[in-house]
């Protein structure tokens, strides 16, 4: 069981270290994992001049699972695309064909008060954003900035593009996921304006015919963003394209109290998965022991479940997270008056200790 650990940049380093602690704690009495570390993002750019060096990609191909932190900084975001830290992550996802990004959004009872939203709106929220991850305007060509011959002004171009088969495979993934949940899929698109999205809706409807036991609804993305905040409990699986999924999931994070609470799993056809918190490198808090490590720790639980079939261990990690929250441990982003405010390390230690206690 080989795990490649790619901490990346900023708080990626801090939170990933806590997830590694959790993985070690949960396998303390078993065969354990072979964990190696690699470079990605700005950290890789600094050493190799490339945010996704060949050595990292090779190591990823040779691993059974990858634990990723965060990539990019505001500085490298201004460089040409091939030098941006975040593009290392985009290339990793694309190279491994990890087209289905599962982003579960769960409002824990312990954190209802940490959200900016009202208790009666978010209580019981349990949904999954399934974001297509290897297509859309992120990868479509033509793209770039060029100077218009006639007017002499600069023009920026990106292309929203999906093939029918790309839509179909993530559609099937959505319906399969819904069968393990509450049997509802809401497909989110912009079919009223964009041809790509009209095709998206058509193909989702076709796929849905294979799953008569699952309810399929459609929403335009603008309305979906509103319904997500207004009546979040109604959603089960939300399936959407790469760009809409990116945006909707950060918004959905606030249903849980913090972006630091959203884990994710990026999967393709094989068993190998990439496990990544939804948040980024958070330059505003990086290096100060302030980051919430629970998104990364819960991503490692998804790894145990989905890449290694270790359901008991996955549940042990998730239970430990709930346990420390019930004990009142809170990082700054989810702190409330009267809670026990701790740093990244202490939160990670508390989760690891709770795992260790539960495994004895
Ligand atoms: P961000 O997700 O890094 O941060 C957004 C806000 O949420 C910040 O205020 C941050 O402090 C807070 N936050 C995020 N994670 C947190 C955590 N675990 N605990 C507590 N607070 C947390 O998004 P951004 O500021 O727009 O981007 C920062 C950099 O990260 C950019 O260079 C961006 O390109 C990159 N980025 C990378 C990823 C990724 O690697 N998956 C994702 C998003 C952004
Ligand atoms: C995410 C991030 C990335 C994305 C960036 C860093 C390229 O925002 O994982 O959600 O847009 O996919
Ligand atoms: Mn994002």
Residue nearest atom 31 of ligand 1, based on CA coordinates: 73
Q: Provide the 8-state DSSP code for 282.
A: -
Angle 164-167-173 from CA coordinates, rounded to 5°: 140
Ligand 2 geometric centre to CA of 329 (Å): 28
Residue nearest atom 13 of ligand 1, based on CA coordinates: 282
40 burial type by CB count under 10 A (0-12 exposed, 13-18 middle, 19+ buried): buried
pLDDT for the residue 75? 96
Average pLDDT (205-224) is 98
pLDDT for the residue 243? 98
Mutate which of 89, 266, 281, 282 for ligand 2 pocket (most atoms within 8 A of beta carbon) = 89
List pLDDT tens digits, range 34-78.
Answer: 999 999 999 999 999 999 999 999 999 999 999 999 999 999 999
pLDDT for the residue 31? 74
Ligand 2 geometric centre to CA of 238 (Å): 18
Catalytic residues: 138, 190, 222, 246, 250
Residue nearest atom 11 of ligand 2, based on CA coordinates: 246
Instruction: Specify the ligand 2 atom closest to the Cα of 101.
Output: 9
* Closest-approaching ligand to the CA atom of 103: 2
Residue nearest atom 5 of ligand 2, based on CA coordinates: 86
Q: d(Cα 352, Cα 172) in Å, to the nearest integer?
A: 36
The annotation places the binding site at 93, 103, 131, 222, 246, 250, 280-292
* pLDDT cut 90: percent of the chain above it: 97
Strand order in the sheet with 215-220: 34-37, 2-8, 65-70, 273-275, 265-267, 100-106, 126-132, 237-240, 184-189, 215-220
Instruction: Specify the ligand 1 atom closest to the Cα of 333.
Output: 20
47: its two tokens: 């050493």
List pLDDT tens digits, range 150-182.
Answer: 999 999 999 999 999 999 999 999 999 999 999
| 105 CB near ligand 1 (under 6 Å) | no
Q: Which domains does the chain have, with CATH numbers?
A: 1-104+262-360 (3.40.718.10), 126-254 (3.40.718.10)
Mutate which of 12, 66, 77, 86 for ligand 2 pocket (most atoms within 8 A of beta carbon) = 86
pLDDT surpasses 90 at 338: no
Mutate which of 281, 330, 348 for ligand 1 pocket (most atoms within 8 A of beta carbon) = 281
User: 256 Cβ partners below 8 Å, 6+ apart?
Assistant: 105, 106, 107, 108, 111, 115, 125, 262
Reported ipTM: the value is 0.99
């Amino acid at each position: 069981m080989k795990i490649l650990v790619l901490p990346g940049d900023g708080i990626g380093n801090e939170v990933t270290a806590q997830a590694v602690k959790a993985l070690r704690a949960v396998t303390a009495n078993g065969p354990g994992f072979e964990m190696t570390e690699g470079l990605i993002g700005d950290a890789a750019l600094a050493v190799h001049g490339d945010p996704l060096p060949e050595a990292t990609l090779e190591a990823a191909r040779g691993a059974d699972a990858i634990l990723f932190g965060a990539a990019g900084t505001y500085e490298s975001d201004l460089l040409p695309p091939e030098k941006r830290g975040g593009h290392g992550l985009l290339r990793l996802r694309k190279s491994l064909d990890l087209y289905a990004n599962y982003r579960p959004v769960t409002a824990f009872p312990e954190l209802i008060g940490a959200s900016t939203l009202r208790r009666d709106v978010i209580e019981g929220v349990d949904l999954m954003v399934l974001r297509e991850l290897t297509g859309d305007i992120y990868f479509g060509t033509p793209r770039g900035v060029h100077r218009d011959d006639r007017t002499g002004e600069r023009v920026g171009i990106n292309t929203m593009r999906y093939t029918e088969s790309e839509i179909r495979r993530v559609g099937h993934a959505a319906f399969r996921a819904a069968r393990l949940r509450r049997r509802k899929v809401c497909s989110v698109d912009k079919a009223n304006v964009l041809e790509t999205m009209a095709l998206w809706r058509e193909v989702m409807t076709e796929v849905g015919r294979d799953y008569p036991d699952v309810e399929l609804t459609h929403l335009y993305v603008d309305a979906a963003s509103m319904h997500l905040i207004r009546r979040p409990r109604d959603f089960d699986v939300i399936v959407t394209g790469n760009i809409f999924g990116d945006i909707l999931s950060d918004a959905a994070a606030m249903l849980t109290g913090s972006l630091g609470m959203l884990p994710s799993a990026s999967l393709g056809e094989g068993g190998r998965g990439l496990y990544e918190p939804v948040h980024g490198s958070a330059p505003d808090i990086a290096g100060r022991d302030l980051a919430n490590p629970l998104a990364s720790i819960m991503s490692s639980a998804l790894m145990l479940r989905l890449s290694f079939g270790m359901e008991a261990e996955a549940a042990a990690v998730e239970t430990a997270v709930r346990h420390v929250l019930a004990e009142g441990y809170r990082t700054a982003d989810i702190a409330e008056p009267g809670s026990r405010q701790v740093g990244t390390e202490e939160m990670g230690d508390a989760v690891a200790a709770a795992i260790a206690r539960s495994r004895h």
